[in-house]
Amino acid sequence: MQTTKFCTIALISTAAAIFAGCDSSEQSVNNIEATKAFIVTASSQLQDYGPQGLFEAVQPGWHSATPPTYPESLMVDFMTPQKVKFIGLLQQDGLPARAPKSLRIEASSDGKTWTEVGGSDDACVPNKPDGWVKIDLAKPITTQYMKIVIFSSCGDTPLLTLRGLRVG
């Protein structure tokens, strides 16, 4: 069953919590204030496995409806414009075949008109020592809305999951 749930995440600790495990150069690009709320929505989700814990990298993370109907997407509304240079994705522990493989990153100032700002054809192999996949944008942007459009998983056809999301 496909349903869309709107989940609000309020950050109540330091901005470093979003970037737990990042090196200091990645932390320095973050300007998302810890006291601001933002909204994460998903195009679909399986049962109660919504996107609400993605920025805290809480298990089990987001699960799309099963089977996924591609393209699937995650959208972040930062509530105010934020500077973004990269996104980070964390696979569900022990289940890398469920992670996003092919994806496009889009930005919007109004949540209606979208511009492609980056992406990856193969985000299956973590490229950071802490297990995260870092995807740099083509150039730094300032945006209020960011969408991650996912076209395929890393091999597990009935499930698409993601444990964590970083934006910096």
> Mapping DSSP to helix (H, G, I), strand (E, B) and coil, where does residue 24 land?
helix
Average pLDDT for the chain: 83
Thinking of the domain 6-167, which architecture would CATH place it in? Sandwich (2.60)
Each domain of the chain, given as residue ranges in start order, spans 6-167
Whether the per-residue pLDDT at 7 is higher than 90: the answer is no
Query: pLDDT of 57-114, one tens digit each?
Result: 988 999 999 999 999 999 999 999 999 999 999 999 989 999 999 999 999 999 999 9
Of 76, 78, 93, residue with least CA distance to 132:
93
Whether the per-residue pLDDT at 35 is higher than 70: the answer is no
Reported pTM: 0.80
> Mapping DSSP to helix (H, G, I), strand (E, B) and coil, where does residue 72 land?
strand
